[in-house]
Amino acid sequence: MDAEIRRIAINTGGGDAPGLNAVIRATVLAARRRGWEVVGIRKGYHGLLQGDGVIPLRRADVRGIAHQGGTILGTTNRGNPFEWPMRESDGSTTLYDRSGEVMERFRNLGLDALVAIGGDGSMKIASRFAELGMPVVGVPKTIDNDLEGTVTTFGFHTAVSIASDAVGRLHSTAEAHDRVFVIEVMGRYAGWIALHAGIAGGADAILIPEIPYSIESVCEKVRQREMRGRHFSVVVIAEGARESEGEISTLGAAAPGEAVRLGGAGHKLAQEIGQRTGKETRTVVLGHLQRAGGPVAYDRVIAQRFGAAAVKVIARREFSVMVALDPPDILTVPLSEVSGRMKCVPLDSDTVESVREMGICLGD
């Protein structure tokens, strides 16, 4: 069965996440063991649309990279070949469908399969290429942990670890100055990072997109702590969190072909807390630090399990699927069931219930 596969490609799409290089390494090692040739496509699908964008990936090319951050292949979140942004002479941007060119180059390169490593956007693109006949296997990446079909994505645990450390550290400076700290974390429209970092870092309030919050409820928490002699508070807010009657905070409109950028939720909340409680309130936006640098051990392991699993899946010629963690196993789920869906924090989950049990404010 293996003899039918000779040459496979790997690409990494969307925002980077710690563990991308670990997946690449595992995929290359497992594929080379079967005698397959492996190439890397630079910057998502860019590499298939330009001359020098396809590079060989031999064992030596992936030596010692599992612990490194970023991706040796480069990535982009402006690389959807079905909606390729091109600048016109008048300065405007038009979106072109270049999927046909991608399919043609893929065939001309003699590729038997693509391992597409990415988040929801990348899985959507992979699913569309699968419909056009490309043999694709997806690998679930994102610090946001918002991909359907898998218990976890790689990158998430690293982001939580970085954010928890920051939340924990801010306690001492908050206490020293009797201040309130509002820490804004990433996660887009899901509250996984905020919830986990908030619990691990000992936050007094955790605000997630799944539970629209009331500013009064957060201020009440600050006041209660004040009355108990705790003259500081630490609030974690997800970038996608919003007030019950409010809108999600964004950094302007999305450019053509790009997702809207979220940001500002922390500043907005801090201002309100300061005004209503009279407490000096500061904001820390953790931003891209959450996905910078190498993966924690958990992500190194899960990323390499995903990479090895992708090769096994290709070997049995199962395509149009994404490898997924269903502990203790790695299974596959159809790309069509993943793409366009979002895994939010379930409000009846034990994690959310535990937060309530402990009296941590969820803003409702």
Phi, psi of 198 (to 5 degrees): -65, -45
Q: CA-to-CA distance for 28 and 42, rounded, in angstroms?
A: 15
Q: Which amino acid is at 4?
A: E
* 3-state secondary structure at position 113: strand
Instruction: Please identify, using beta-carbon distances, which residue of 289 and 331 lies nearer to ligand F6P.
Output: 289
Per-residue binding letters, 263-302, with ligand F6P (x by CB under 6 A)? ----------------------------x-----------
Q: Contact between 188 and ligand F6P (CB under 6 A)?
A: yes
Is cis: bond before 18, omega within 30 of 0?
A: no
Any contact of residue 314 with ligand F6P (CB under 6 A)? Answer: no
Residue 187, interface with ligand F6P (CB under 6 A)? yes
Shorter beta-carbon distance to ligand F6P: residue 159 or 335: 159
Query: Which two structure tokens, joined as six digits, stand for 42?
Result: 């630079």
The dihedrals phi and psi of 330, each to the nearest 5 degrees, come to -105, 120
Other CB atoms within a 10 A radius of the CB of residue 139 amount to 31
Residue 243 makes contact with ligand F6P by CB under 6 A: no
Residue 8 burial class via C-beta count within 10 angstroms: exposed 0-12, middle 13-18, buried 19 and up: buried
Which of residues 144, 148, 204, 299 is near ligand F6P by CB under 6 A?
144
Alpha helices for the chain (secondary structure H): 20-33, 46-49, 99-108, 120-131, 156-177, 192-201, 215-227, 265-277, 297-315, 335-338, 350-357
Residue with smaller CB distance to ligand F6P, 257 or 274:
257
Q: Write down the catalytic residue from 16, 120, 144, 299.
A: 144
DSSP letter, residue 45: T
Site string for ligand F6P, 13-32 (x = CB under 6 A): --x-----------------
Q: Applying CB under 6 A, does 262 fall inside the site for ligand F6P?
A: yes
Range in contact with ligand F6P (rule: CB under 6 A) among 35-43, 186-194, 276-284, 312-320: 186-194
Instruction: Give catalytic status of residue 144 as yes or no.
Output: yes
- Does position 43 interact with ligand F6P (CB under 6 A)? The reply is no
Binding segment for ligand F6P (CB under 6 A), chosen from 30-38, 45-53, 136-144, 300-308, is: 136-144
Interaction of residue 46 with ligand F6P, rule CB under 6 A: no
Continuous segment of H or E residues that includes residue 321: strand 321-326
Least distance to ligand F6P, CB of residue 286, Å: 10
According to CB under 6 A, which one of 68, 77, 214, 217 is a site residue for ligand F6P? 77
d(CA 302, CA 316): 21
Size of the residue set binding ligand F6P (CB under 6 A): 13
The single residue among 134, 143, 163, 215 that binds ligand F6P, judged by CB under 6 A, is 143
Select from 113, 186, 208, 211 the one that contacts ligand F6P (CB under 6 A).
Answer: 186
* Shortest distance, position 142 Cβ to ligand F6P, whole Å: 5
Question: Based on CB atoms, which residue is closest to ligand F6P, 109 or 255?
Answer: 255
Pairing of strands 54-56, 281-285: unpaired
Residue type, 112: D
The answer to whether 213 and 159 are in contact (CB under 8 A) is no
Cα separation, 144 vs 152, whole angstroms: 10
Q: What is the dihedral of CA 211, 214, 215, 220, to 10 degrees?
A: -100
**C-beta of 159: minimal distance to ligand F6P in Å?**
8
Of the pair 251, 297, the CB lying nearest ligand F6P is at 251
121 in contact with ligand F6P (CB under 6 A)? no
Tracing tokens 């908030």 back to the chain, one arrives at: 198
Catalytic residue IDs: 144
Per CB under 6 A, residues contacting ligand F6P are 15, 77, 119, 142-144, 186-188, 239, 261-262, 291
